[in-house]
Amino acid sequence: MPGAGKSTTGILLAKALSLSFVDADVVIQVAEGTRLQNIIQSEGVEAFCVIEERAALAFDLSNSVLATGGSVVYSEKAMDHFKKLGTLVYLHVSLEEVIQRVGNPDVRGIVCAPGMTLDELYKERSLLYDRYADVKVECAGLDHKAVVQAIVKALDKLKSQ
């Protein structure tokens, strides 16, 4: 979800687990030579999703934490690929928190259909995140450090099953 804290939490989680960190949005921006919002505005949402899927399918990471863009969940191929690579963690934040954190969605590089509200985007993506997640972490009222602790605890629990 946009504004869920994927990048910040990912960096802290990678440090906590002594793993490397990769931010998929940064990888795309470097490869394309421009910001995500510029790609979406100039190429369109569908073209961006193709670029994002291609980048996702190219990841062959081990011993890494990957923070994906929130829209990669629209690609079944990408999500299946990620499932093969490791554990998928869904950082769940409320719609109100997303609205507060995102601010103006028109300048954040958020993939959504023209005219779609953040409320509609939230409902649509939440279903997909729930579908693919191996672990769902409730982030309400937690700072980044506490979110990382909750993820580590959830991952340890998953390993012991």
Q: What is the pLDDT of residues 122-150, one digit of tens each?
A: 999 999 999 999 999 999 889 999 999 99
Give the start-to-end residue ranges of the domains of the chain: 6-159
Comparing CA positions, the residue from 63, 106, 107, 56 lying closest to residue 82 is 56
pLDDT of 106 higher than 70: no
* pLDDT computed for residue 3 by the predictor: 82
Q: 20 has which bridge partners?
A: 64
The overall average pLDDT reported for the chain is 92
Contacts of 99 (CB under 8 A, 6+ apart): 118
Higher pLDDT, 109 or 77: 77
Rg of the chain taking only CA atoms, in angstroms:
15
Q: Under CATH, which number does the domain 6-159 receive?
A: 3.40.50.300
- What is the distance between the alpha carbons of residues 151 and 99, in angstroms, rounded to a whole number? 23
Higher pLDDT, 115 or 107: 115
Higher pLDDT, 108 or 22: 22
**Cα 147 to the chain's mean position, in Å?**
15
* pLDDT computed for residue 132 by the predictor: 97
- What is the distance between the alpha carbons of residues 90 and 155, in angstroms, rounded to a whole number? 12
DSSP tag of 152: H
**Cα 132 to the chain's mean position, in Å?**
12
pLDDT of 107 higher than 70: no
Q: 89 has which bridge partners?
A: 135
Q: Is the pTM of this model over 0.85?
A: yes
- What is the distance between the alpha carbons of residues 82 and 102, in angstroms, rounded to a whole number? 25
